[in-house]
Structure 1
Amino acid sequence: MKSKSVITRFNNCYILRNSKIIKEDLWIRDGKIENPEQIFYEEQLEANVTVNCDNLLIAPGFIDIQINGACGVDFSYDSENVQNGINTVAKKLLEHGVTSFCPTLITSHPEKYRQILPKIKKTQGGKHGATVLGVHLEGPFISLEKKGAHLDEYIKTPEKGIETMRQVYGPLDDVVIVTLAPELPGAIEAIKDLTKEGIKVALGHSTAALAQGEEAIKNGANMITHLFNAMLPFHHRDPGLVGLLASTTDKQVYYGLISDGIHTHPAALRIACRANPEGLVLVSDAVAALGLADGRYRIGPQAVTVLDGRAYISGTDVLCGSTTALDQCVQTFKKCIDCTPEYALEAASLHPARALGIDGRKGKLDFGYDADFIIMEPKTLNVLSTWIAGEQVYSKPK
């Protein structure tokens, strides 16, 4: 059967594989990355299509595990046009090299979850837009003291664990991440139950001490949401959730970082990277204003004002997400910490795939993996084209 499939060879290119950029061809068949030795020697076939890449760089597609919206769309607000909103953002993300993403809903009224969640389904990407991996629920089971841009009247405590969560959210069928504060009553039981359901738990919007964070990790949590933001600052006697970067737990802890040049100081980026390089996951945390001019927008139930590219809860100085796409975050991150392009690119592809437990099929250009990749300028890391399952789904206008 395979012999009848179209085989595409990308040559005259550099590819990111095993944390190294190497000069090597990339072979694609049936939406997967193929081993050329098998094609040549075992099947004795040749490529049907050859793409000359002119010494450009091919890297795995970006995976954005925290994004609230874009193009005027806020995933937590418009319950009447959910599918249109998802489609609009998914299409826009292709321009930024994002091949997979997790639409993120912030703290909302229970009725909003019941209206919106059933309409967001895990969806394979293509020319219509990036793959929807599943929903990231950020709140409402968070700390009032570290609510950030979340509305306090909707914040809740998971007193009965996952039972309370189901009462608020409804079915969790297409949920892949829940962000919660581990110090809340019932949170540890919720973490255990969510983990049993195959849902990843991220710690965030929290006043947790390090010991509480470690207890959460031991019981199944594996991520921290937007490190440094909406949590206790590092203190040498009790470093809080930030201390999980250097914790003695035997589990890899992944942590999101917003490297938009606003949310996290370059020195903080460097500290986190040096303390726990394998756990660093770049996220956009983008809001509805992504791709648009300064003005008035929304994030869930609250009004947002964007001034000079910074998004604030209207009438306050509280930041409420980013207006920067993930490809720009990668470029800013590389510049701020002066790392290799290999590391910056993997922080937005391999690392999020590992955090979600999908690194057996996404986040790499290894044989047998999904052929989700981007072709970039090697020096600037500007996205020139985006490919999902071996199909070109975006090309930068010339």
Structure 2
Amino acid sequence: MGKLTQFVNCKILRNHSIFKEDLWVRDGKIVNPEKVFFDEKVKADFVIDCKGSIIAPGFIELQINGGLGYDFSFLENTEKGVSVVSKFLLSHGVTSFCPTVVTSPKEIYHSVLPKITRRKGGKNGATIIGVHVEGPFISKAKKGAHPPEHIVTFEKGISDLEDVYGSLDNVQIITLAPELDNSSKVIQELRKRNIIVSVGHSIADLANGEVAVNNGASLITHLFNAMLPFHHRDPGLVGLLASDKIPEGRTIFFGIISDGIHTQAAALRIAYRVHAEGLILVTDAISAMGLNEGQHKIGQMDIEIRDRKAYIAGTNTLCGSIASMIQCIKIFLQATGCTPEYALEAASLHPAKLLGIEKVKGTLDFGADADFVFLNENFDVVSTWIAGECVYNVEA
């Protein structure tokens, strides 16, 4: 067996509660101290004083387009960009993420997607779970920052996706508009391949959304943004949060951008109070995250950062966030009045449940991967750990 590490003088988040208890780690996994005490009768090889920190599961980011000047949808420096951003995310408490590629021409997908491979995290960066491909099978009417000339349909079904993307091997999530013809067959086929289908950038009504969910869709991309606004006669995709046509035992998850810009505080509160179980915090951060104001690029489009907001250059159209995950957690906590436990789990346990990895990620349960983050009383990131190894320390 490997070396046993005991984390002391800490409070841990487990089973929806934060309480004072030591955390034990061995071979990159969280272990049950009772077995150590009573069965093995051994002491820790290393004892780490956490100095009163909260230990929470590492954050899981499902939608991030880039950062530090690198864009995952840009052909040049793809591998370097993913590596740089992956390491940068450690300072935000993110231990796993889905690099997101937005609507692009076919040749971009064919070049970029093979280069963004799944990999385990460590000192070189957060774990890459798989790519989130956002588009190009979306609605031009709700394109947001996506270039309309590259938006397409799937008239031939799944073969169109294979033609456009080149390969689905590295893809974990696909955002598509469920009102498009042949969407039902496409969703069913993607689920057979264990690819998560998210509905978004869409003019779908509630009925379209319910059909998509019954065919296997399980996520809504950045709720309230790039979809029909809520209407009392037809609430659109927003209505999925309270639909009575969701299959029994299924949870509809939804990403929400709590950066203080994309989703107003009252909207955050509504989503939280209506369907807390399915809420997942995402940043939707773009290439300008971590950079100063000025001209930058997202996908094939020029963007502009001004007044701490990101716009399509020369317009007032928002095109992505520049907030970190820990900032989104803090904003959400303040806006909704939820418990700290809930805000942290919305960035860890909830995305893990969507991905079906809640036994090993997004939790501090015994047997889970020892991916976690130390937070001080102000919820600032003190250090980040992957497989029981410190991969970021604010004091370093």
For 2:164 and 2:372, locate their aligned partners in 1 and report how far apart those are by CA, in whole Å. 37
Alpha-carbon deviations, 1:250-308, whole Å to 9, x = none?
32100000000000000000000000001000001000111110011111000000001
For 1:170 and 1:354, locate their aligned partners in 2 and report how far apart those are by CA, in whole Å. 28
Indicate the residue corresponding to 1:281 in structure 2: 280
SS at match of 2:118: coil
Q: TM-score, normalised by structure 1?
A: 0.98
SS at match of 1:364: coil
Indicate the residue corresponding to 2:387 in structure 1: 389
Deviation at 1:230, TM superposition (A): 0.2
Over aligned residue pairs, what C-alpha RMSD do you find? 0.8
State the AA in 1 paired with 2:188: K
Instruction: Select between 13-22 and 243-252 the one with higher mean Cα deviation.
Output: 243-252
Indicate the residue corresponding to 1:124 in structure 2: 120
Instruction: Say whether residues 1:355 and 2:354 are aligned partners.
Output: yes
- For 2:46, which of 39, 44, 49 is the aligned residue? 49
Deviation at 1:356, TM superposition (A): 1.3
SS at match of 2:318: coil
SS at match of 1:237: coil
Indicate the residue corresponding to 1:213 in structure 2: 209
Point out where structure 2 has 5 or more consecutive residues left out of the alignment: none
Instruction: Say whether residues 1:364 and 2:385 are aligned partners.
Output: no
Percentage of pairs with the same residue: 57
For 1:74 and 1:62, locate their aligned partners in 2 and report how far apart those are by CA, in whole Å. 21
SS at match of 2:323: coil
Q: TM-score, normalised by structure 2?
A: 0.98
For 1:116 and 1:373, locate their aligned partners in 2 and report how far apart those are by CA, in whole Å. 30
- For 2:77, which of 58, 78, 81 is the aligned residue? 81
Indicate the residue corresponding to 1:63 in structure 2: 60
SS at match of 1:392: strand
SS at match of 2:142: coil
Deviation at 1:358, TM superposition (A): 1.2
Q: Is the 8 A contact 1:161 1:193 kept in 2?
A: no
For 1:47 and 1:375, locate their aligned partners in 2 and report how far apart those are by CA, in whole Å. 20
Indicate the residue corresponding to 1:322 in structure 2: 321
For 2:219 and 2:365, locate their aligned partners in 1 and report how far apart those are by CA, in whole Å. 25
SS at match of 1:128: coil
SS at match of 1:243: helix
Alpha-carbon deviations, 1:66-104, whole Å to 9, x = none?
000000000001x23111111100010000000000000
Indicate the residue corresponding to 1:200 in structure 2: 196
For 1:25 and 1:105, locate their aligned partners in 2 and report how far apart those are by CA, in whole Å. 40
Indicate the residue corresponding to 2:265 in structure 1: 266
Indicate the residue corresponding to 1:291 in structure 2: 290
- For 1:140, which of 133, 136, 145 is the aligned residue? 136
Deviation at 1:339, TM superposition (A): 1.1
Instruction: Say whether residues 1:187 and 2:183 are aligned partners.
Output: yes
Indicate the residue corresponding to 1:26 in structure 2: 23
Aligned pairs, number: 393
For 2:298 and 2:50, locate their aligned partners in 1 and report how far apart those are by CA, in whole Å. 40
Deviation at 1:12, TM superposition (A): 1.3
For 2:51 and 2:183, locate their aligned partners in 1 and report how far apart those are by CA, in whole Å. 53
Point out where structure 1 has 5 or more consecutive residues left out of the alignment: none
Q: Is the 8 A contact 1:159 1:187 kept in 2?
A: no
For 1:159 and 1:30, locate their aligned partners in 2 and report how far apart those are by CA, in whole Å. 49
For 1:236 and 1:80, locate their aligned partners in 2 and report how far apart those are by CA, in whole Å. 46
For 1:56 and 1:139, locate their aligned partners in 2 and report how far apart those are by CA, in whole Å. 40
SS at match of 1:285: coil
- For 2:220, which of 224, 242, 251 is the aligned residue? 224
SS at match of 1:358: coil
Indicate the residue corresponding to 1:102 in structure 2: 98
For 1:102 and 1:237, locate their aligned partners in 2 and report how far apart those are by CA, in whole Å. 35
State the AA in 1 paired with 2:33: P
Instruction: Say whether residues 1:11 and 2:8 are aligned partners.
Output: yes
Q: Is the 8 A contact 1:177 1:201 kept in 2?
A: yes
Instruction: Say whether residues 1:238 and 2:230 are aligned partners.
Output: no
For 1:288 and 1:397, locate their aligned partners in 2 and report how far apart those are by CA, in whole Å. 26
State the AA in 2 paired with 1:176: Q
For 1:162 and 1:395, locate their aligned partners in 2 and report how far apart those are by CA, in whole Å. 45
For 1:39 and 1:116, locate their aligned partners in 2 and report how far apart those are by CA, in whole Å. 46
For 1:101 and 1:233, locate their aligned partners in 2 and report how far apart those are by CA, in whole Å. 29
Deviation at 1:393, TM superposition (A): 0.2
Deviation at 1:382, TM superposition (A): 0.6
Runs of 4+ in 1 over 4 A off after TM superposition: none
SS at match of 1:297: strand
